[in-house]
Amino acid sequence: MAYKITIIGGGSSTFTPQLMRLFMASKVLEGSTITLMDVDAHRLEVMDILCKRLVEREGVKLTIKSTTDRRQSLIGADFVIAAISVGGMDAWERTRDPRALRDLHGDR
């Protein structure tokens, strides 16, 4: 059975490639459609191109679509994955504390 999976925040260069690798390895998802949705059209375009190249190169049966229209992306979706960063990348940069990275990796 083919599914429609929508990734809200599909322009993420952190989460989307990792999710795509998992989707491509799944026999259960063969024939499914992955819809990438993001408010950032440029980031979305980059991930759309990357995902289509990955699918083509690996020869898997997945269809990749992309849109900046959240409502459109949800129509008919069997599964929705939210991979968003509230405030976008600017928020990450403004709130990033160098000590947090050190503590995260245990480099004390």
pLDDT in 10s for each residue of the chain, 108 residues = 899 999 999 999 889 999 999 999 999 999 999 999 999 999 999 999 999 999 999 999 999 999 999 999 999 999 999 988 766 666 666 666 665 555 444 444
Residue 14: per-residue pLDDT: 86
User: How far apart, in whole angstroms, are the C-alpha atoms of residue 45 and residue 95?
Assistant: 27
63-67 and 33-37 beta bridge pairing: parallel
Q: pTM of the entire structure?
A: 0.80
Dihedral (Cα; 69, 55, 17, 79), 10-degree rounding: 50
How far is the first Cα of the chain from the last one, in angstroms, to the nearest whole number? 50
User: How far apart, in whole angstroms, are the C-alpha atoms of residue 65 and residue 105?
Assistant: 36
